[in-house]
């Protein structure tokens, strides 16, 4: 039951094979059994059961609110949730309880979906391993033969980040879908490393209202599910304009449902030559070639293309990210909300102690360098220059999609499979992000939709994902191609090791 698709669960509800309350209990049970993964910061047990009972009543009366009625979901802890604490995995907000729901959370609740809890992450979404948060690292469910059994804790691997808790929650079958956020890859990276689907929609298609910002001009709510079809259903529910976010745009009139059998003979798949990056593992390269060949054999046009400015994406991202961080973090001063330092000899001293105690080194470091980039004498040289290069990066994509007629780009999502925690933490956060985000970040620069699909297991038995990047606002077409890939790659399971082939958890 826990590894079914959203449609299958809805059908099971309708046929009375399981009730929302029973399903909710199963998920709560499994959350307890997988506690060692540290995927959740807050589990909303009582509220989940209450919402499940309400859903059950609606289903019994035959009036479900929508396709997600009764479906358990999890939310990254940087989305505001009314009366439920929202920490951003930071000491700064460890006791913060928002008075409102983020628009995307509200939309899921309006559909009758059942909130299981808030998930762990890198502090303020700054990171790529979910190793840098105030609540400890998230362990990848694939570290274990059975994620519920931990007698011997092996040398575990990271979940990816910064939405690692959301990815681990979906991969370990404690939620059917989860919200992540994606500024440089934070939904796709953990999606790939945890063997699930991670969608970063086009910028502006989903509201950011209530998503605590990292880089306002690149942030998008992300969707983590076990199948592409599920991601399309959730996208359909979440997309569309929001009066509370002036950057949102109407969803284009397009497919509302993915075609069962997409005809790839009509499409052109671009393979960007610059993505043959240093450090790409043999296993990942082999999968990339395999799927490119699959397209070709099926009659798609597969062409090598060039995105020459992509190589500058990471360095530009750091300038832009740190600058926006410096400005966004200014609101955390201990006065209005969040942590307040003890020192009160002066307002300045209070600010300083609040921010020193509240933020980790990563956040403080980014604020410092961001303020440096924004200094009057540096602004043109760093911030404005990075914005100009950002335009060149976006233009590269436009040329490939518009001029050359490419429909989707096929690339790896990450350089390698998940690293062992002990290896991952040998490098600092900035170095890690630079390595982890090489393939994912450019899509954020250009606001394009991108999705990772699990394709195979590496020699170490860990998932490898491939990324598809589409044209702006062509998210449904992108997902149609992604579903075609998912249906053919034969990934061992859309669920998870230890569950595939074994009995669903009680």
User: What positions carry a catalytic annotation?
Assistant: 76, 162, 186
Q: Count the neighbouring beta carbons within 10 Å of the beta carbon of residue 343.
A: 16
Query: Can you tell me which of 112, 147, 185, 338 binds ligand GLN, judged by CB under 6 A?
Result: 185
Min dist CB 485 to ligand GLN, Å, is 23
Note whether 183 binds ligand GLN by CB under 6 A.
Answer: yes
| Of residues 26 and 318, the one with the C-beta less far from ligand GLN | 318
| Of residues 122 and 407, the one with the C-beta less far from ligand GLN | 122
| Of residues 24 and 212, the one with the C-beta less far from ligand GLN | 212
Note whether 433 binds ligand GLN by CB under 6 A.
Answer: yes
| Of residues 140 and 494, the one with the C-beta less far from ligand GLN | 140
The reply to whether omega before 381 is within 30° of 0 (cis) is: no
Min dist CB 219 to ligand GLN, Å, is 7
Contacts of 263 (CB under 8 A, 6+ apart): none
Min dist CB 184 to ligand GLN, Å, is 3
| Of residues 127 and 195, the one with the C-beta less far from ligand GLN | 127
Min dist CB 16 to ligand GLN, Å, is 41
Pairing between strand 408-412 and 197-200?
unpaired
Asked if 506 and 26 count as a contact pair (C-beta separation under 8 A), the reply is yes
Residue 127 vs residues 38, 89, 218: alpha-carbon distances, Å: 17, 12, 15
Note whether 126 binds ligand GLN by CB under 6 A.
Answer: yes
Asked if 160 and 171 count as a contact pair (C-beta separation under 8 A), the reply is no
Q: How far apart are CA 187 and CA 412, in angstroms?
A: 14
- By CB neighbour count within 10 A (0-12 exposed, 13-18 middle, 19+ buried), where does 387 fall? middle
Min dist CB 145 to ligand GLN, Å, is 29
Asked if 78 and 180 count as a contact pair (C-beta separation under 8 A), the reply is no
Asked if 38 and 138 count as a contact pair (C-beta separation under 8 A), the reply is yes
C-alpha of 397 from chain center? 22
| Of residues 160 and 497, the one with the C-beta less far from ligand GLN | 160
Query: Can you tell me which of 59, 116, 125, 251 binds ligand GLN, judged by CB under 6 A?
Result: 125
Query: Can you tell me which of 205, 214, 271, 443 binds ligand GLN, judged by CB under 6 A?
Result: 214
Note whether 186 binds ligand GLN by CB under 6 A.
Answer: yes
Min dist CB 48 to ligand GLN, Å, is 26
Among 10-18, 123-131, 227-235, 409-417, which window interacts with ligand GLN (CB under 6 A)? Answer: 123-131
DSSP code string of 355-404: HHHHS-HHHHHHHHHHHHHTSTTTTIIIIIHHHHHHHHHHHHHHIIIIIS
3-state secondary structure of 493: coil
Min dist CB 180 to ligand GLN, Å, is 9
Question: What would the two tokens of residue 263 be?
Answer: 């005809």
Q: How far apart are CA 486 and CA 484, in angstroms?
A: 6
Note whether 184 binds ligand GLN by CB under 6 A.
Answer: yes
Q: How far apart are CA 23 and CA 236, in angstroms?
A: 23
Among 32-40, 119-127, 263-271, 369-377, which window interacts with ligand GLN (CB under 6 A)? Answer: 119-127
DSSP code string of 227-260: SHHHHHHHHHHH-S-BTTBTT--PPPS--SS--S
Note whether 447 binds ligand GLN by CB under 6 A.
Answer: no
Query: Can you tell me which of 34, 90, 106, 128 binds ligand GLN, judged by CB under 6 A?
Result: 128
3-state secondary structure of 195: coil
Min dist CB 325 to ligand GLN, Å, is 8
Gyration radius of the chain over CA positions: 22
Query: Can you tell me which of 55, 120, 130, 162 binds ligand GLN, judged by CB under 6 A?
Result: 162
Among 137-145, 179-187, 228-236, 475-483, which window interacts with ligand GLN (CB under 6 A)? Answer: 179-187
Note whether 192 binds ligand GLN by CB under 6 A.
Answer: no
Among 176-184, 290-298, 401-409, 457-465, which window interacts with ligand GLN (CB under 6 A)? Answer: 176-184
Residues 266-325 that bind ligand GLN (CB under 6 A): 321
- Phi, psi torsion values for 157, nearest 5 degrees: -105, 155
Which run of H or E residues covers position 164?
helix 164-171
Among 149-157, 182-190, 298-306, 376-384, which window interacts with ligand GLN (CB under 6 A)? Answer: 182-190
Min dist CB 268 to ligand GLN, Å, is 28
Size of the site for ligand GLN (CB under 6 A): 15
Q: How far apart are CA 120 and CA 299, in angstroms?
A: 42
3-state secondary structure of 204: coil
Note whether 448 binds ligand GLN by CB under 6 A.
Answer: no
Note whether 414 binds ligand GLN by CB under 6 A.
Answer: no
Judged by the rule CB under 6 A, the positions of this chain that interact with ligand GLN are 125-128, 162, 181-186, 214, 321, 433, 437
């Amino acid at each position: 039951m826990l590894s079914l698709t959203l449609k299958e669960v809805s059908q099971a509800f309708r046929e009375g094979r399981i009730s929302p309350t029973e399903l909710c209990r199963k998920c709560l049970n499994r959350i307890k059994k997988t506690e060692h993964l540290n995927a959740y910061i807050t589990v909303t047990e009582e509220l989940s059961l209450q919402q499940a009972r309400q859903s059950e009543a609606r289903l019994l009366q035959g009036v479900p609110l929508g396709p997600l009625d009764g479906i358990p979901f999890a939310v990254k802890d940087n989305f505001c949730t009314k009366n439920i604490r929202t920490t951003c995995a930071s000491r700064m907000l460890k006791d913060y309880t928002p008075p409102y729901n983020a628009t995307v959370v509200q939309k899921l609740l309006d559909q009758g979906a059942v909130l299981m809890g808030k998930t762990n992450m890198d502090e303020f979404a700054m990171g790529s391993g979910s190793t840098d948060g105030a609540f400890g690292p998230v362990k990848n469910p694939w570290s274990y033969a059975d994620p519920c059994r931990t007698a011997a804790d092996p040398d575990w691997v990271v979940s990816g980040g910064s939405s690692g808790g959301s990815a681990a929650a979906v991969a370990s079958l404690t939620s059917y879908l989860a919200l992540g956020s994606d500024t440089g890859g934070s939904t796709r990276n953990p999606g790939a490393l945890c063997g699930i689907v991670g969608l970063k929609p086009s910028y502006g298609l989903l509201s950011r209202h209530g998503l605590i910002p990292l880089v306002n001009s690149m942030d998008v709510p992300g969707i983590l599910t076990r199948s592409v079809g599920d991601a399309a259903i959730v996208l359909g529910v979440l997309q569309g304009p929001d009066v509370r976010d002036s950057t949102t745009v109407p969803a284009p009139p397009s497919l509302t449902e993915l075609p069962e059998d997409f005809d790839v003979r009509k499409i052109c798949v671009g393979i960007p030559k610059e993505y043959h990056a240093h450090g790409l593992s043999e296993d990942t390269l082999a999968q990339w070639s395999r799927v490119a060949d699959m397209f070709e054999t099926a009659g798609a046009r597969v062409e090598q293309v060039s995105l020459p400015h992509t190589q500058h994406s990471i360095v530009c991202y750091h300038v832009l990210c740190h600058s926006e961080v410096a400005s966004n973090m200014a609101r955390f001063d201990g006065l209005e909300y969040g942590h307040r330092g003890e020192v009160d000899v002066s307002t300045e001293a209070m600010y300083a102690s609040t921010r020193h105690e509240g933020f980790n080194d990563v956040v403080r470091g980014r604020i410092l360098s961001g303020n440096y980039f924004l200094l009057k004498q540096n602004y043109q040289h760093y911030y404005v220059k990075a914005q100009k290069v950002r335009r060149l990066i976006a233009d590269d994509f436009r040329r490939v999609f518009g001029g050359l007629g490419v429909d989707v780009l096929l690339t790896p999502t990450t350089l390698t499979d998940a690293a062992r925690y002990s290896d991952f933490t040998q490098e600092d956060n900035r170095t890690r992000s630079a390595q982890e985000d090489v393939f994912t970040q450019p899509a954020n620069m250009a606001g394009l939709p991108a999705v990772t699909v699990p394709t195979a297991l590496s020699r170490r038995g860990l998932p490898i994902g491939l990324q598809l990047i589409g044209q702006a606002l062509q998210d449904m077409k992108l997902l149609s191609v992604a579903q075609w890939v998912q249906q053919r790659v034969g990934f061992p399971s859309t669920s998870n090791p230890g569950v595939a082939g074994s009995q669903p958890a009680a």
